Amino acid sequence: MGDLSNMVIPRHVAIILDGNGRWAKKRGLPRTMGHREGCKTVEKTVEIAARIGIEYLTVYGFSTENWSRSVEEVGALMQLFRYYMVRLLKIAKQNNVRVKMIGDKSRFDQDIIDGIDRLVRETQDNTGLTFVIAVNYGGRDEITRAAARLARDCRDGKIDGESISQEVFASYLDTAGMPDPDLLIRTSGELRLSNYLLWQVAYTEFYITDCLWPDFNQEELEKAIVQYNKRERRFGGVKA
Q: Using CA atoms in the order 168, 169, 173, 177, what is the torsion angle rounded to 10 degrees? A: -30
Smaller CB separation from ligand IPE, 140 or 234: 140
What radius of gyration, in Å, describes the C-alpha atoms of the chain?
18
Contact between 18 and Mg ion by CB under 5 A: the answer reads: yes
Q: Which does 17 bind (CB under 5 to 8 A by kind): Mg ion, ligand IPE, none?
A: ligand IPE
- Report the distance separating Cα 5 and Cα 210, nearest Å: 26
To Mg ion, the closest distance from the beta carbon of 193 in angstroms equals 13
- Report the distance separating Cα 73 and Cα 53, nearest Å: 34
Q: Which does 60 bind (CB under 5 to 8 A by kind): ligand IPE, Mg ion, none?
A: ligand IPE
Name, in order, each residue with C-beta under 8 angstroms of 56's C-beta and a sequence gap of 6 or more. 11, 12, 13, 129, 130, 132, 178, 179, 181
The binding site for substrate comprises 19-23, 31, 35, 63-65, 67, 69, 186, 192-194
Residue choice 14, 17, 42, 50 for contact with ligand IPE (CB under 6 A): 17
Contact between 138 and ligand IPE by CB under 6 A: the answer reads: no
User: Looking at beta carbons, which residue is closest to Mg ion?
Assistant: 18
Contact between 218 and ligand IPE by CB under 6 A: the answer reads: no
- Report the distance separating Cα 182 and Cα 4, nearest Å: 17
Neighbours of 3 (CB within 10 A): 8
| Total number of residues that touch Mg ion (CB under 5 A) | 1
**Which residue stretch of 12-20, 121-129, 158-166, 176-184 sits at the interface with Mg ion (rule: CB under 5 A)?**
12-20
| CB 19 within 8 Å of CB 41 | no
Contact between 60 and ligand IPE by CB under 6 A: the answer reads: yes
To ligand IPE, the closest distance from the beta carbon of 90 in angstroms equals 23
Helix 110-123 × helix 71-94 angle, to 10°: 20
Contact between 61 and ligand IPE by CB under 6 A: the answer reads: yes
**Which residue stretch of 4-12, 151-159, 188-196, 219-227 sits at the interface with ligand IPE (rule: CB under 6 A)?**
188-196
Of 183, 195, 190, 189, nearest in space to 221 by CA: 183
Of 80, 99, 100, nearest in space to 89 by CA: 99
Contact between 22 and ligand IPE by CB under 6 A: the answer reads: yes
Q: Is 18 a catalytic residue?
A: yes
Residues with a known catalytic role = 18, 66
Name the residues that contact ligand IPE, by CB under 6 A. 16-22, 38, 60-63, 66, 77, 188, 190, 192, 194
Name the residues that contact Mg ion, by CB under 5 A. 18
